[in-house]
Amino acid sequence: MSELLMFVEIPKGSRNKYEWDPEVGAIVFDRYLYSSVVYPADYGFITDTLGEDGDPLDALCLVSDPTFPGCRIPVRAVGLFKMIDNGEVDDKVVCVPVDDPNWKGVETLDDISDQLKTEISHFFAIYKQPEGKIVEVQGYRSREEALDTVAAAKQRLLAAK
């Protein structure tokens, strides 16, 4: 499972929160972020998964330039960002695009700058504060744990069918 497919809901740099709505069969506008922060990477989910929160497993793709909602990116998982959102597990797989030469040498979290990891962590720690929602950032985990989380989310989806 070296290559995964990510579905982009929100491009890097956006304050608009979009979500895939399976009932509508399209991406819908959810809200404008209350915080004056922007998504630090393309954000969406790993296709064909079911996270512990009942939604597809969240993913961040570190991109050179933002893509667009609905874009599918072949990605490589490099780590896992763990957090609790309103009491529910809300893990995010940290990925890089397979075919972007700027991210070619990135295989694990150690290959990502501390500055970027801090920016991602800070974003998720504060982005829901103005809404009065509680988020607990639990930090980064290894590529192996990310791949285990993806495998479990794929199994969870199969079991739910």
pLDDT in tens, 116-149: 999 999 999 999 988 888 899 999 999 999 999 9
Residue 65 confidence (pLDDT)? 96
How would DSSP label each residue in 126-151?
Answer: HTTGGGT--EEEEEEE-HHHHHHHHH
* Domains of the chain by start residue, with CATH: 4-160 (3.90.80.10)
90 annotated among ligand-binding-site residues:
yes
Residue 137 confidence (pLDDT)? 96
pTM greater than the 0.75 cutoff = yes
Decide if pLDDT at 1 tops 60.
no
111 annotated among ligand-binding-site residues:
no
Residue 95 confidence (pLDDT)? 98
9 annotated among ligand-binding-site residues:
yes
Residue 161 confidence (pLDDT)? 83
Q: From 57, 33, 36, 42, select the one nearest 12 (Cα to Cα).
A: 42
53 annotated among ligand-binding-site residues:
yes
Catalytic residue IDs: 90
- Above pLDDT 70, what percent of the chain? 99
Lowest mean pLDDT among 20-24, 37-41, 130-134: 130-134
Mean pLDDT calculated for residue range 88-114: 96
31 annotated among ligand-binding-site residues:
yes
* Average pLDDT taken over every residue of the chain: 95
Is 131 or 71 the better-scoring residue by pLDDT?
Answer: 71
Query: Exposed, middle or buried: residue 1 (CB in 10 Å: 0-12, 13-18, 19+)?
Result: exposed
